[in-house]
Homo-oligomer: A and B are copies of this chain.
């Protein structure tokens, strides 16, 4: 078993590894964890001894299979809790991250299995991120930012930006995962796009920044 801190390090290393192909630097982890490089160096030694990562001093870090699985199980718990908080406890999608950061460390397979069951074995969390299965298998989708889309019909399937203020901004405009979006016009000059959300009458104007944070899927 891992401590909550170790779980957080593994989760962090996993997420950074998705962005960076090569071995991870101590500094990158320190920055992401908001701690000192010395603390990270200490922790890397411990995680290496536990065979959760492979750490060659001065060279960098990679996850072992065990470490990756552990990280994905923590991510699974986080995402299931987020979805539970939104779907069953009426929280907004902008409120659940910090809560899930705590709840993901609750140790009980029975509890997480129950949450999964009550949610109907869901595939995605409230932000559209895939939920790893109980073996730590995860299935990534190809995502297209709305910013790069042509005129047409789309479904909102994810957000790239998880900032609570951004999420609140979206839900206030009835934009959540699953929303059907018609891209009506692209204003390259004004650096924005015009969309219409299925079911709502009025047009919505989105800046390129906002459109960059929205991940969509083509609809027939």
- A residues with CB within 8 A of B: 88-91, 95, 98-99, 102-103, 106-108, 110-111, 114-115, 118
Contact = CB atoms under 8 A, between A and B. Distances in A.
A106 B88 CA distance: 18
Q: Which of A88, A95, A107, A111 has the most CB of B within 10 A?
A: A111
A114 B90 contact: yes
A168 B205 CA distance: 59
Copies in the complex: 2
A110 B95 CA distance: 10
A126 B162 CA distance: 38
A88 B85 CA distance: 13
B107 A102 contact: yes
Nearest to A115: B89
Contacts of A114: 89-91
Contact of A108 (B88, B102, B106, B107): B102
A1 B110 CA distance: 30
Contact of A103 (B91, B106, B110, B118): B106
A103 B103 CA distance: 8
Contacts of A118: 89-90
Contacts of A115: 89
Contacts of A110: 95, 99
Nearest to A91: B114
Given A90-B114, A114-B89, A102 B95 contact: no
Contacts of A98: 108
A53 B83 CA distance: 40
Contacts of A89: 111, 114-115, 118
A103 B115 CA distance: 14
Given A99-B108, A102-B106, 10 more contacts: A89-B111, A89-B114, A90-B114, A90-B118, A91-B114, A95-B110, A98-B108, A99-B111, A102-B108, A106-B106
